[in-house]
Structure 1
Amino acid sequence: MNQKRVFVAGVGMIPFVKPGQNRPYHEMGAEAVRLALDDAGLRYTQVEQAYAGYVYGDSTCGQKALYPLGMTGIPIINVNNNCSTGSTALYLARQAVASGVADCVLAVGFEQMNPGAIGSVFTDRPSPFADFDAVTDALVDVDLPLALRYFGGAGQSHMRKYGTKIETFAKIRAKASRHAANNPLALFRQVVSPEDVLNEKLIWPGVMTRSMACPPTCGAAAALLVSDAFAQRHGLRRDVFIAAQAMTTDFPDTFSTHDMIDLVGFGMTQEAARRVYAQSGVGPEDIDVCELHDCFAQNELITYEALGFCPVGEAERFVETGANTYGGAVVTNPSGGLLSKGHPLGATGLAQCYELTHQLRGTAEARQVAGARNALQHNLGLGGACVVTLYQKA
């Protein structure tokens, strides 16, 4: 297909906070959109379509969040794709612009979460995670909330296969805290050492401590995507564009290999990344900065390998040599990632877009990755869906 180039005209994000410290979801969403409109220099009346992402909410929450900005009659599509909801909204918005259906499209994500581990809301019908749970029950013998069993089990699998140590996961968590210290929008900004992480409460002895899991979070973020012609016509910035994007869902190996690493989306990530590299002609060695889905420190380590930043089985060495931070091969999660910035499910993918847009603009302040030109985004939701996006500096 002959698709149009899609530019990121504006981004907005509000500070992420703990449940109970937040405003209602619709106020958070509307504020993020206002910030994105101001950043772009656009009016809401110029938006032709909107995609609103959230997981925990009733139907048409997107309308509730956007109507205060203007009841313009545009299509508002509500999106729910578990933890990849925000980037799924972004994926749909990009498609609308790239295909020529619209010239100015909004993607917004928000989440109003409750404290504690996430779980099913509807318990009177089959769970979409039933197949995942069946595999997990056969492989993981610990009594923990499901997300901890999924990703802790994947970390344990990596430890057994490749000798990865819990200390390596602690170093990933400590790295997240150092990065978040420079992000005023992050939930946790206190720097911790690997030793601090290891001395915390054990969630899973030998595998995971408390802060290796991301916290429930409330927040919102938004992005405005436009065509080249629209940007030129309205005098908008054209310094950041989406060079490639791919979305995948589960393949048979998610369940057939009986490996927790595959169960938590390794194959989805690997294939989405392969498609993005093929579309763009850019390889993993060309990536300067990456916002990846570190819902658990264990998943960040696994994702290094799935994205091709290092060979399979060598992620521990990638961490040990400092390749994942400033001065290394690719700066991962300069925002602090989900571990420190927080993870309001519907907003996460668009918060990643916010961070990488500022990195490529050169406006990330103390978090700035020097000379960044290629920025990769990875957003994963179990159940499952994965979106990988490559942004480039024009």
Structure 2
Amino acid sequence: MANRVCIAGVGMIAFAKPGASEPYHLMAARAGRQALADAGIGYDALQQAYVGYVYGDSTSGQKAVYELGMTGIPVINVNNNCSTGSTALFLARQAVESGAADCVLALGFEQMKPGALGTVFDDRPSPFEDFDREAEALVGMPELPLALRYFGGAGLGHMQKYGTPLEAFARIRAKASRHAARNPLALLRKELSTEDVMNAPMLWPGVMTRLMACPPTCGAAAAVLVSEAYARKNGLRTDVAIRAQAMTTDRPDTFDSRDMMKVVGAGMSRAAAQSVYEQAGIGPEDLDVVELHDCFAHNELITYEALGLCPEGGAAAFIDAGDNTYGGRVVTNPSGGLLSKGHPLGATGLAQCYELTHQLRGTAEQRQVDGARVALQHNLGLGGACVVTLYEATA
């Protein structure tokens, strides 16, 4: 039988703008120490470490982990674009669930530079060649930065297909700011109105304003995963467990559908969510709180439908009804999400884990979702990979 996997400890440092943070290994070590302290164990209890980052040289994971200790354990470096942190979590969960290890660290960090994301190695084929081809055919706009072009194009596709107004994306960003105002670890904590977002400079006329995109961010987050048997033997907490998890990558319809929403991972997201619901024997109506990948307001809106939080084409009505926030059907991104909390690529998935663990413990303070018992995490990386994780409160 598979081992039940519990979240024994979590850690996260306040996210910062590029140039305003510590070096990556010091940020990572602080988050790791927090997770170990939260779990009530020392570094010598860890049997493996999965360490995620995107922008860094090989074995940066070892550089970060060696700040915590040097016990000779396996340290596995993970890079899966923006889903890197949750991929580290996925691998750590597999190790514990399978019995390969009983106590594992998942750690993610990023030390980013200002400006839009782009490729680093320009002397070889880009992993985004197929994505660029589809974007060129479907939306053009080659002058735009890569991620803005993809996700803006996906939002435009939703607008054209369902008549979604630009204001729907603005309302998502305003909601994110209200949530982040309650989060001391978020990068952007100023509350914004829908009008503030609409009146910001246009990045893509009629499609996206500057405030609808997440900022480049530096930060780190971590989680200690243990088997339930190990936790009980060693007096560790078992009050939050991973009930189901799935990781998906692209299928042919990413490129064959002629649909920018599929190009940016809506199909991967839907498949991963369906797998998780089937594993757990529940549906989206059973969720209390969700942390999803809102790198752009456009992707949050598309993801509502991919996760089954509302019907296809129903996202604008879902937003209008306030069903994505406190007092509505399911609170989405109580942390402020990537849009306001920030998006240090390698840390994002583990920062989501940090938030949901505290929500299920009932320790999220001003952000607490009343009675939260079931939580869903969605983390997406273009290229591509999507990880969806279902957590439950067991106490």
Same topology, TM > 0.5: yes
- The alpha carbon displacement at 1:266 in A equals 0.5
Aligned residues: 393
Q: Contact (CA 8 Å) 2:177, 2:188: kept in 1 or not?
A: yes
- AA aligned to 1:58 is D
Instruction: Give the C-alpha shift of residue 190 in structure 1.
Output: 0.2
Which structure 2 residues correspond to residues 345-364 of structure 1 after superposition, within 5 A?
Answer: 345-364=345-364
CA distance in 2, matches of 1:69, 1:134: 44
Q: Describe the superposition over 1:242-264 as per-residue Cα deviations: whole angstroms up to 9, x where unpaired.
A: 00000000011100011100000
1:101 alignment partner AA: A
Unaligned runs of 5+ in 1: none
1:25-77 CA-to-partner distances (Å, cap 9, x unmatched) read 00000110000001110100000000000000000001000112111000000
Once residues 294 and 334 of structure 1 are traced to their aligned partners in structure 2, the CA distance between those partners, rounded to angstroms, is 12
8 A Cα contact 2:106 2:222, kept in partner = yes
1:261-312 C-alpha deviation (Å, 9 max, x unpaired): 0000011000000000000011100000000000000000000000000111
- Distance of 1:176 and 1:99 partners within structure 2: 37
Distance 1:280 1:380 in 2: 21
Q: CA deviation at 1:233?
A: 1.2
List per-residue Cα deviations over 1:62-118 (Å, max 9, x = no partner).
100011211100000000000000000000000000000000000000000000001
Does 1:62 find its partner at 2:61? yes
Match of 2:382 in 1: 382
What is the aligned partner in structure 1 of residue 38 from structure 2?
A: 39
- SS at structure 2 position matched to 1:106: strand
* Displacement of 1:387: 0.1
2-structure distance, mates of 1:56, 1:31? 19
User: What SS class does the counterpart of residue 68 from structure 1 fall into?
Assistant: coil
1:115 is aligned to 114
Cα distance in 1 for residues equivalent to 2:66 and 2:323: 45
Matches within 5 A, 1:293-372: 293-372=293-372
RMSD of aligned C-alpha atoms?
0.5
Distance in 2, Cα, partners of 1:111 & 1:344: 5
Q: How far 1:211 sits from its partner (Å)?
A: 1.0
Instruction: Give the 3-state SS of the residue equivalent to 1:69 in structure 2.
Output: coil
Query: What is the TM-score with the length of structure 1 in the denominator?
Result: 0.99
Cα offset, 1:141, TM superposition: 2.4
Q: Deviations over 1:149-194 (max 9, x none)?
A: 0000000000000000000100000000000000000000000000
Q: Deviations over 1:192-239 (max 9, x none)?
A: 000000010000111100010000000000000000111011111110
2:101 is matched with: 102
Q: What letter matches 1:261 in structure 2?
A: M
- Between the aligned partners of 2:316 and 2:286, the Cα distance in structure 1 is 21
Identity level (%): 73
Question: Which sits farther off after the overlay, 91-100 or 227-236?
Answer: 227-236
Structure 2 contact 25–67 (Cα < 8 Å) conserved = no
Helix, strand or coil at the partner of 2:183: coil
Q: Contact 2:88/2:107 (CA < 8 Å) preserved in 1?
A: yes
Taking the aligned partners of 1:211 and 1:295, their CA distance within structure 2 comes to: 11
CA contact (8 A) 2:292 2:377 kept: yes
Contact 2:203 2:210 in 1 (8 A): yes
CA distance in 2, matches of 1:321, 1:55: 37
Q: 2:229 corresponds to which letter in structure 1?
A: A
Query: 3-state DSSP class of the match of 2:386?
Result: strand
2: CA distance between counterparts of 1:355 and 1:141?
37
Structure-2 residue corresponding to 1:291 = 291
The separation in 2 between residues aligned to 1:103 and 1:352, in whole angstroms, is: 22
1:131 aligns with 2:130: yes
Amino acid at match of 2:343: H
Residue 159, structure 1, aligned to residue 159, structure 2: yes
Structure 2 distance, partners of 1:58, 1:335, is 30
Is 1:272–2:272 an aligned residue pair? yes
Q: Structure 2 length as normaliser, TM-score? A: 0.99
Per the alignment, residue 248 of structure 1 pairs with: 248
One-letter amino acid of the counterpart of residue 152, structure 1? G
Q: Report SS of the residue matched to 1:377.
A: strand
Q: Secondary structure at the match of 1:185?
A: coil
| Cα distance in 1 for residues equivalent to 2:67 and 2:268 | 37
| Structure 1 CA distance for aligned equivalents of residues 293 and 163 of structure 2 | 23
- Asked whether the equivalents of residues 216 and 343 of structure 2 are also in contact (C-alpha less than 8 Å), the reply is yes
CA distance in structure 2 between the partners assigned to 1:28 and 1:271 by the alignment: 34
Range moving further from structure 2, 125-134 or 140-149: 140-149
Q: Deviations over 1:318-362 (max 9, x none)?
A: 000000000111000000000000000000000000000000000
Q: CA deviation at 1:119?
A: 0.5
Distance 1:71 1:347 in 2: 22
1:65 maps to a residue whose letter is: A
Equivalent in the alignment of 1:222: 222
